[in-house]
């Protein structure tokens, strides 16, 4: 896809960063970046910056921002979507059956739709009217600020066909952004969605004053419960040991750049969800996703105690002080079970 028009929908931190990656990968291409804010789009076009989300980033000159959704995707051969997962369907609805024939759609989102329980790739195919084989997923340890600073990062591009996965990987490969390909779309997406819930649990524990032993226990057991759900849904277990599983989980749980981690920390310190959301700013996807994860786990008969505990604290009034005891008081069993 080198040299063709591509579009990124969503001018937040990750959308803007991925637009810069695409622009660096193909300096001769036009990268259209869609956003709802007229001021943000004007700043991107005139000053080559997006100071609200990435104050240190100087944007490449081949990025052009617009508030016109149809203009952004017109004739684009690749459309990457970096919208809040719970709002994406409504925003994208006007584009149903409007994309050019053969356009590849890329999900940069890490969430599960609450109303339907759908992963983002399925939601995109349904909403935009494109076949599954033209939908890809990018996931992994993708902290936007570090990638914007061109710190070396590896990621995973997952699609049901090799042609789609390799086309997207080629479009975003740069000296600092190294994509690997994978056919396990469910595993890659689920790892990216559930890690936000686990990061909330880590943040809550940290905010409540617990240390590294607790953090390591939550991360390790969080990966185990994610793998249980994933394999029940048809994913491959080895996917969760890779970049989109353990890699993304560690980055999100360890970094203060993670909104989910930061929001959880504030909850652990005693803030309400509303207070923590205001203080954190932006969308912490795990807040909604935890409910979807628990619903999926119940549908598949899978135990996910960490996800259940986070959902209880955020949405059902369970005191933070009860969460560690809930996790540790479960029946003893073999670690591999």
Q: Scan for tokens 């990061």, then name that residue.
A: 199
79 Cβ contact partners less than 8 Å away, ≥ 6 residues apart: 6, 7, 8, 9, 73, 99, 103, 104, 105, 106
User: For domain 186-328, which architecture applies?
Assistant: Orthogonal Bundle (1.10)
Percent of the chain with pLDDT over 70: 97
Residue 205, H or E segment? helix 185-207
Task: For residues 313 and 292, give the distance between their C-alpha atoms in angstroms, rounded to a whole number.
Answer: 15
End-to-end CA distance of the chain: give it in Å, rounded: 45
Structure-block tokens of residue 306:
């960490």
Q: Is the dihedral of CA 160, 166, 169, 175 positive or negative?
A: positive
Reply yes or no on whether the pLDDT at 180 is more than 70: yes
> What Å distances lie between residue 229 and 31, 69, 86, 298, CA to CA?
37, 36, 21, 10
Structure-block tokens of residue 132:
């599954």
Structure-block tokens of residue 256:
């203060």
Reply yes or no on whether the pLDDT at 14 is more than 90: yes
Are 291 and 312 spatial neighbours (Cβ–Cβ below 8 Å)? no
In the annotation, is 110 catalytic?
no
* Mean pLDDT (whole number) for 245-255: 95
pLDDT in tens, 111-135: 999 999 999 999 999 999 999 999 9
* pLDDT at site 281: 85
Pairing of strands 153-159, 135-139: antiparallel
pTM metric for this prediction: 0.94
Q: Scan for tokens 């028009």, then name that residue.
A: 5
Numbers of helices and strands, H then E, in the chain: 15, 8
* pLDDT at site 282: 75
Pairing of strands 153-159, 177-182: parallel
**Could you state, in order of their start, the residue ranges of all structural domains in the chain?**
6-183, 186-328
Do domains 6-183 and 186-328 share one topology? The answer is: no
Q: Please report how many Cα atoms fall inside a 13 Å half-sphere around the Cα of residue 247, on the Cβ side.
A: 16
Q: Which CATH superfamily is domain 6-183 in?
A: NAD(P)-binding Rossmann-like Domain (3.40.50.720)
Task: For residues 200 and 220, give the distance between their C-alpha atoms in angstroms, rounded to a whole number.
Answer: 14
Task: For residues 160 and 186, give the distance between their C-alpha atoms in angstroms, rounded to a whole number.
Answer: 10
* pLDDT at site 332: 76
Q: Scan for tokens 């033209």, then name that residue.
A: 134
* pLDDT at site 19: 98
- Nearest-CA neighbor of 234 among 307, 154, 160? 160
Sheet arrangement for strand 63-66:
63-66, 31-34, 6-9, 78-81, 104-107, 135-139, 153-159, 177-182
Mean pLDDT of the chain: 94
Reply yes or no on whether the pLDDT at 189 is more than 70: yes
Task: For residues 26 and 188, give the distance between their C-alpha atoms in angstroms, rounded to a whole number.
Answer: 26
* pLDDT at site 4: 60
Out of 52, 90, 110, 195, which one is annotated catalytic? 195
* The CA-based dihedral angle spanning residues 23, 28, 29, 35, taken in that order and rounded to the nearest 10 degrees: 50
* pLDDT at site 329: 61
Angle at which helices 259-268 and 273-280 cross, to 10°? 140
């Amino acid at each position: 896809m080198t040299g063709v028009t591509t579009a990124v929908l969503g001018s937040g931190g990750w959308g803007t960063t991925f637009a810069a990656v695409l622009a660096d990968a193909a300096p001769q291409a036009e990268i259209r970046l869609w956003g709802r804010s007229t001021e943000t789009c004007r700043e991107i076009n005139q000053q080559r910056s997006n100071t609200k989300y990435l104050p240190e980033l100087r944007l490449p000159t081949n990025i052009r921002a617009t508030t016109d959704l149809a203009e952004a995707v017109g004739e684009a051969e690749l459309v990457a979507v970096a919208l809040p997962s719970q709002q994406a369907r409504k925003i994208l609805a006007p584009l149903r059956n409007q994309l050019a024939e053969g356009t590849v759609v890329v999900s940069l989102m890490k969430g599960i739709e609450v109303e339907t329980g759908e992963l983002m790739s399925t939601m995109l195919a349904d909403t935009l009217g494109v076949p599954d084989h033209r939908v890809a997923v990018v996931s992994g340890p993708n902290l936007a600020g570090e990638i914007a600073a061109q710190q070396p990062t590896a990621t995973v591009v997952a699609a049901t066909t090799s042609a789609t996965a390799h086309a997207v990987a080629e479009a975003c490969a740069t000296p600092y952004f190294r994509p690997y390909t994978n056919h396990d779309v469910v595993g890659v997406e689920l790892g990216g969605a559930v890690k936000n819930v686990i990061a909330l649990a880590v943040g809550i524990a940290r905010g409540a004053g617990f240390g590294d032993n607790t953090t390591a226990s939550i991360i390790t057991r969080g990966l185990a419960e994610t793998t249980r759900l994933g394999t029940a849904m048809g994913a491959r277990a080895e996917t969760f040991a890779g970049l989109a599983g353990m890699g993304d989980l560690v980055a999100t749980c360890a970094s203060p750049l993670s909104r989910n981690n930061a929001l959880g920390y504030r909850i652990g310190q005693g803030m309400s969800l509303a207070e923590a959301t205001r203080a954190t700013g932006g969308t912490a996807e795990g807040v909604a996703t935890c409910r979807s994860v628990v619903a999926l786990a119940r549908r598949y008969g899978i135990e996910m105690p960490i996800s259940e505990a986070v959902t209880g604290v955020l949405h059902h009034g369970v005191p933070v002080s009860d969460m560690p005891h809930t996790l540790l008081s479960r029946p003893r069993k073999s670690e591999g079970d």
